[in-house]
């Protein structure tokens, strides 16, 4: 195994190529056709919490690019495998808080209940009037220095308000979503190295927001409200009210992102691009790792070629790998940066 003094021998061009290959190998990603265009922001050498946070803001600005999304990865100092490195506790750089209201009800994103609780334990105070779309602070952990919280300035987050091209009442639902999906809690691994903090981002597929984030019962659960707006009865499943509400929700999200000038792909186009990617990879003699349950879009899946085939079950490296939640590995007594206020207000 190479020791840490050899870290400097890792050239940025090598890291970029390994990151591109990790994207190409990502079994759950339908958007791999663009793997060769992934750009690298090299933040190795960022010293301490504040510089890491500045690099995260730089990632948001660069990759969002005023809506003309650039597929981007930012890498911080790596560590040899088996060691604990820099961690970003948030699953994405931008996440909306989830507040329990009792009786199982949640204001905001139920998927972020645990993270929201952890951040409050670290000293974060929600707005005096919480909403369904409060941006959570970033929790950045540096080994030996602990965890520090940073508020993300609103100006650093491009958000899209959701409207429908036909139904004026749709905007009154108050829905919005951030333009950039930037995964922040996975590790980039290759050779002997682990980049335990390596935020990476591309652009959204419409069903990720409309069907999963807004439509799932365990998330924002908006389908009953949309069905009501459409005048559909929710008491009869055979009226297919959920299906019809989903179609209009997808139409609204796609329309809103297009009107805002933010790159987004529909699930049919994404499936066609992925099929072309598979054909190209196989023509080059490379098998395609794939997780069928993730690759098939959560809407109209059987109308697409990828529904009707299987994929290579192997998981080659380079790879992006899941890590245990950072707080599950947190070192006792190092949960808050020593001598620092647990909440840093950020900039602007």
DSSP 35-89: GGG-EEEE-TT--HHHHHHHHHHHHHHHHHGGGS---EEEE---EETTS---EE-
Distances (CA, A) of 228 to 156, 234, 251, 284: 35, 8, 17, 51
For CA atoms 174, 179, 181, 184, the dihedral sign is: negative
Residues facing 159 on adjacent strands? 178
pLDDT tier at 8 (50, 70, 90 boundaries)?
A: low
- Among residues 261, 211, 208, 280, the alpha carbon closest in space to that of 32 is found at 280
Least reliable range by pLDDT among 63-72, 185-194, 234-243, 339-348? 339-348
Strands 39-42 and 138-142, sheet pairing: unpaired
Task: Taking residues 80-100, report their average pLDDT.
Answer: 97
**C-alpha–C-alpha distance, residues 180 and 66, integer Å:** 10
Looking only at the bridges linking them, the beta strands covering 343-344 and 146-150 are parallel
Q: If pLDDT is split at 50, 70 and 90, which confidence band does 341 have?
A: very low
Q: Strand 319-321 and strand 187-190: pairing?
A: antiparallel
Share of the chain above pLDDT 90, in %: 89
Range of the domain at 59: 4-344
Q: Other CB atoms closer than 10 Å to residue 107's CB: what's the count?
A: 16
| Mean per-residue pLDDT, 237-253 | 96
> For position 133, what pLDDT does the model report?
98
CA distance 167 to 174: 14
Whether the ω angle into residue 221 lies within 30 degrees of 0, i.e. cis, is no
Q: How far apart are CA 61 and CA 190, in angstroms?
A: 27
pLDDT band, residue 2 (cuts 50/70/90): very low
What is the count of structural domains for the chain?
A: 1
Mean pLDDT score of the chain, rounded to an integer?
A: 92
pLDDT mean over 16-31: 98
Task: Give the pLDDT of residue 10.
Answer: 84
Mean pLDDT of 205-232: 98
Average the pLDDT over 141-149 and give the result.
Answer: 95
Mean pLDDT to the nearest integer, 242-260: 98
CATH number at residue 136: 3.90.340.10
| Strand, helix or coil for residue 319 | strand
What pLDDT shows up at residue 329? Answer: 75
């Amino acid at each position: 195994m190479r020791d840490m003094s050899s870290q400097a021998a890792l050239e940025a061009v090598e890291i970029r190529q390994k990151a591109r290959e990790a994207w190409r190998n990502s079994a759950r990603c339908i958007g791999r056709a663009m793997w060769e265009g992934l750009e690298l922001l090299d933040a190795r050498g960022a010293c301490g919490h504040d510089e890491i946070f500045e690099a995260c803001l730089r990632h948001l600005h660069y990759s969002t690019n005023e809506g003309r999304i650039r597929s981007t990865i930012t890498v911080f100092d790596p560590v040899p495998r088996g060691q604990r490195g820099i961690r970003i506790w948030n699953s994405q750089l931008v996440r909306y808080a989830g507040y329990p209201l009792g009786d199982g009800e949640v204001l905001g994103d139920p998927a972020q209940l645990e993270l929201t609780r952890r951040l409050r334990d670290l000293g974060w105070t929600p707005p005096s009037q919480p909403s369904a779309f409060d941006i959570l602070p970033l929790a950045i952990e540096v080994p030996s220095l602990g965890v520090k919280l940073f508020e993300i300035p609103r100006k650093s987050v491009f958000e899209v308000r959701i409207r429908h091209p036909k139904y004026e009442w749709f905007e009154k639902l108050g829905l919005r979503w951030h333009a950039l999906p930037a995964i922040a809690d996975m590790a980039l691994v290759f050779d002997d190295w682990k980049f335990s903090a390596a935020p990476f981002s591309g652009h959204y597929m419409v069903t990720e927001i409309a069907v999963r984030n807004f439509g799932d019962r365990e998330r924002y659960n908006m389908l009953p409200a949309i069905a009501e707006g459409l005048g559909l009865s929710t008491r009869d499943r055979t009226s297919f009210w959920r299906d019809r509400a989903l179609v209009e929700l997808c139409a609204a999200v796609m329309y809103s992102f297009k009107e805002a000038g933010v790159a987004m792909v529909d699930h049919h186009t994404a499936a066609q691009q992925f099929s072309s990617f598979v054909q190209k990879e196989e023509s080059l003699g490379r098998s395609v790792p794939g997780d069928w349950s993730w690759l098939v879009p959560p809407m109209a899946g059987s109308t697409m070629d990828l529904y009707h085939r299987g994929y290579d079950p192997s998981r080659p490296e380079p790879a992006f790998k899941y890590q245990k939640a950072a707080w599950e590995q947190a070192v006792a007594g190092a949960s808050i940066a020593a001598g620092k206020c647990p909440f840093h207000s950020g900039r602007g």
